[in-house]
Chain A
Amino acid sequence: MSKSSPRRFAGKSTGTVTVIEARVHRSSARNARVAFILTAVVVGVLAAVVAASYWHPIVALIVGALVGVPCGAAAWLLVRIWPVLRLLWWWITEVLLAVLLLTGWVQLAGHTPMVVTLLVVALVVGVPAAVPVIRRQVIAWAWCLVVRHRLRVCFAQFIIANQSGSLPLILWARPTPVGERVWVYLRPGLSAKDLEGRLDKIAVTCHASTVLIERAAENNAAYLRFDIKRREVLTAHVGSPLVDQIDPTAPVSASPLTVPTALDLPDVDAPTITLPAQGKPAGKKPAPTTSANGSKPAASSSAPEDDVSDWI
C-alpha cells in the first residue's frame, strides 16, 4: 500500500492537469515527474519547518531542500520502476519458491557427495509424487498459483476496468474439493454485476468448467470470492456423520409386526379394495398414486395452466 501511495498522489494531480487530453493514458514519465515534485516539496517543507526550530531559517531551508530532493528522487524512481515492481509482486511466490529450491539444491550439491544429493532429491520429489494425498495437495496448491495469474489475465485482457488500467487486487487463493477459491478486491470501475456477465469467459481463461462469484463481505461490495470449478462433487456418495456417533453393536430392538399374507394380486379379493372414490374425475385418479411413475410427467405437462393460475 505504501508503495502505491506516491502513484496515487500523482494520479490525482495529473487528473486535474490533463483535462484537455483526458483520454490519453498518463505516461509513466509524467507520473514520475509529478511524484518527484510532490514528494520533494512536501518532504522539503516539513523538514524545513522542523529544522527551523533548531537553526536559522535559511539554514533550515537548505536542510529542507537537502532532505526533500533525495526523497523526491526516491519517489520518482519508485514510480518509474513501478511496472517492474508490480510484475515482481505478481510473481513473488514463484520467485521465492525458485530461489528456495535453487539455494537448497546448490547447498546440497556443495555439501554432500553426489549419491546423497541424488538420494535426497529423489526422496523430496518421489515421496510427494508417490503418495496420492500429498500429490493431490501439491497439484491443488499449484493450481492456486496458476489461477491467480489466469484471473489477472482476464482482468488485463478483456475486463477493462478504468482509464488508468488499475487491476483488481488478487488476494489469497486456496484449493477446494472442486477447484480453487480466490478472494479478489475490486478497484473502482468494476462491480460484481459486470463480472457476472463474463463468467463463461473467465472459466475459459482459467481452464475451468464454471466460475461462480459471491460477495465475500456483507458490508463491502468490492470484496469478492471467485469459486473456480474443475470437478463435480455432487455425483459423489455422501455418508452421514451420524453413523460415527453410534455404536453399531447396540442390541436389536423392534416391536413385533403382524405381516399380512396377501402378498400377491390373486390373494386379494376384489371387494376388499378400499381405495376410496375421489371427488375428482376418474381420469385423475391414477396420477397421485405412487406406483404410477409413468403418469407423472404426463400429469405435469397436462396441467401447466393450472399451475400458472395457482401462482396468482
Chain B
Amino acid sequence: MSTTVPAPVAGVPVGPGLSMFDPIFIGIDEFGQPVYLDVIYRNILIAGEPGGGKSGLVNNICGHGVLCDNTRLVLFDAKLVELGPWRDLADAFIGPDIDQGIDVLRRLLVVATNRYTWLLANRRRKLAPGDGMSVIVTIIDELAMYSTVLGTKPQQEEFSALLRGLVSLGRACGMPVVAATQRPSWDIIPASLRDLFGYRAAFRCTSLNSSNIILGQGWAEQGYTASDISPTNQGAAYLLAEGGVPRRIKAAYLSDTDIYNIADYAAWTRRPTSTPAGDTTGWEMAA
C-alpha cells in the first residue's frame, strides 16, 4: 500500500487530531442542533429499509474513525462499495467471505480477553483515553449477509455467536461495534445479539412493527415510529441514544467524492505508521 503513495512534496501532513474518545458528529436534530454520538463505550445498531440511509450514517462513523489518532478499523461489508473506500485504512476489510470474517472475529475476541487481563493487572475496569491503547472499531454493513446469506448454517451461527461475544465484551475495552442491517428481526439476527446494542438508529421502516423491532417495543405506541418518515427523505432517522427517548435526526451525508477525499487524506496522514491490511503483528502489539 505504501508503495502507491508518492512521498509528499510540500510539507509533512498533520493529522486533524481527532480521537475516538471525541463525540462523533452524525447530523442534526429536529431543531437544527448538531447531534453527536459517543461510540466508544457503546454499540450501535442501525436499521431501516433499503435505501433509508444506513450506509450514509455508517460512513460518517468510518470517516471519523480513519481521521482519529490511535484507532483501528475492522470493516465488514459484503456489498464491498459501502466501506470499500476505507479498505486500505482498515486493519481488516472483509468482503463477502464469512470464513475470513469468523477468523477476524476470533482474533478480536482474543484481543478483548487480553485487554481485560491487562486491565485486571492494572486494577481497573475500563479503558481510558490515557492508556495509549488503540481503539478497535468494528463496523459491519449488512449484518444480515453474514448471519443469513453467506456460508453454511453452522458458519452463520458461529459468526453470530462470535459477534455476540464481541458486542458483549468490547464495550469497556475500547472495542465498540457498529452494525447496520435492514431488518433486525429474530430470523435475521438472534434476539440475544440484537438486544446487546445499546444505541439504536431507526431509518425509515414500512410498519410500526418493524420500527418497534429496531427501537424497542412500545416506542411506536408512544408516537416514536420510523414508519412516519417520508420515503423521499433519506437519511432521516430516529436515534435512541443518550436521553433515553428517541430523537428525530437527519444524518450527515458524505458524497462519494467526500469519502474518497477523506480516505486519501487519511492514508496520507497515516502513511508512516499505518499497518498494511492483514498484518498480524499489529494485533499482538495492541493486545
Contacts and interface: CB of A to CB of B under 8 A. Distances in A.
B104 interface: no
B268 interface: yes
Contacts of B129: none
A242 B67 contact: yes
A240 B63 contact: yes
Contact of B30 (A234, A239, A307): A234
13 contacts: A233-B30, A235-B233, A235-B250, A236-B28, A238-B235, A242-B25, A246-B67, A246-B262, A254-B4, A288-B144, A296-B182, A300-B185, A307-B185
Contact of A176 (B31, B142, B182, B267): B31
Nearest to B205: A300
B31 A238 contact: no
Given A245-B18, A300-B210, A234 B185 contact: no
Report the 6 A-B pairs with minimum CB-CB distance, sorted nearest first: A177-B32, A246-B265, A250-B265, A253-B267, A279-B153, A310-B186
A278 interface: yes
B100 interface: no
A20 interface: no
A245 B67 contact: yes
Contact of A250 (B28, B186, B187, B261): B261
Interface in B30-88: 30-33, 49-51, 60, 63-64, 67, 79, 87-88
Given A255-B1, A278-B153, A307-B213, A178 B31 contact: yes
- Determine the main DSSP class of A at the interface with B: loop
Contacts of B50: 290, 293, 296
Interface size class, chain B: 35 or more
A237 interface: yes
Contacts of A1: none
A241 B261 contact: no
A297 interface: yes
Nearest to A275: B149
Interface residues of A, number: 49
A297 B205 CA distance: 9
A247 B13 contact: yes
B132 interface: no
Contact of A227 (B31, B49, B249): B31
Contacts of A296: 49-50, 182-183, 206
A253 B254 contact: no
Nearest to B79: A290
Interface in A169-190: 176-178, 181
A304 B250 contact: no
Contact of B88 (A177, A238, A255): A255
B148 A252 contact: no
B217 A311 contact: yes
B155 to A, nearest CB: 9
B103 interface: no
B12 to A, nearest CB: 12
A200 to B, nearest CB: 12
Residue of B145, B148, B248, B269 with most chain A CB atoms under a 10 A cut-off: B148
B31 A233 contact: yes
A242 B16 CA distance: 9
Contacts of A243: 254, 258, 261-262
B130 interface: no
B144 A253 contact: no
A239 B255 CA distance: 9
Contacts of A148: none
A303 B207 CA distance: 12
A157 interface: no
Contact of A242 (B148, B191, B254, B268): B254
A301 B207 contact: yes
B186 A307 contact: yes
A227 B4 CA distance: 53
Nearest to B181: A288
A283 interface: no
A239 B63 CA distance: 13
Interface in A237-281: 237-243, 245-248, 250-256, 275-276, 278-279
Interface string B177-193: 00000110111100100
Interface in B227-280: 230, 233, 235-236, 248-254, 258, 260-269, 277
Contacts of B28: 233-234, 236, 238
Nearest to B66: A242
A252 B4 CA distance: 8
Given A233-B250, A247-B268, 19 more contacts: A176-B31, A227-B31, A234-B249, A236-B250, A242-B25, A242-B63, A242-B258, A243-B258, A245-B18, A246-B16, A253-B4, A253-B264, A255-B277, A278-B153, A279-B153, A288-B148, A289-B149, A300-B183, A310-B191
Contacts of B150: 276
B152 interface: yes
Nearest to A227: B31
A297 B183 CA distance: 10
A234 B236 contact: yes
